[in-house]
């Protein structure tokens, strides 16, 4: 007899949805290591990252159907949401 124990969470318990930030202060196409994403896709590279854990990127303006999963450090502009996963599981 298999006993299943489930714990229920709301989505807000598991992830926070955050806005990206303006990239003008960090964008550096020549030496940047971290991708800068906007709603339309890759915009350039930065020497700094905004978030460095796996995340789901969700368009906020114009291209909501372009959801993207990323595992590397990245920067997103303010037309894109990103998720921060809570470590409760």
Residue 2 within any structural domain of the chain: no
Mean pLDDT to the nearest integer, 56-80? 86
Whether the pTM exceeds 0.85: the reply is no
Please give the Cα distance from 88 to 41 (Å, whole number). 30
Report the number of distinct structural domains present in the chain. 1
Q: Residue 68's domain spans which residues?
A: 30-85
| CATH code (residue 78) | 3.90.220.20
Residue 55 within any structural domain of the chain: yes
Longest dimension (CA), the chain: 61
The alpha carbon of 3 is separated from its chain's Cα centroid by a whole number of angstroms, namely 36
Residue 3 confidence (pLDDT):
66
């Amino acid at each position: 007899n298999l006993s299943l124990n489930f714990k229920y969470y709301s989505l807000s318990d598991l992830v926070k949805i955050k806005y990206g930030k303006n990239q003008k202060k960090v964008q550096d196409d020549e030496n940047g290591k971290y991708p800068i994403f906007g709603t339309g896709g890759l915009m350039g590279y930065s020497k700094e990252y905004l978030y460095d854990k796996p995340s789901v990127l969700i368009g906020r303006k114009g291209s909501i159907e372009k959801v993207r999963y990323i595992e590397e450090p990245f920067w997103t502009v303010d037309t894109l949401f990103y998720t921060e996963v809570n470590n409760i599981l």
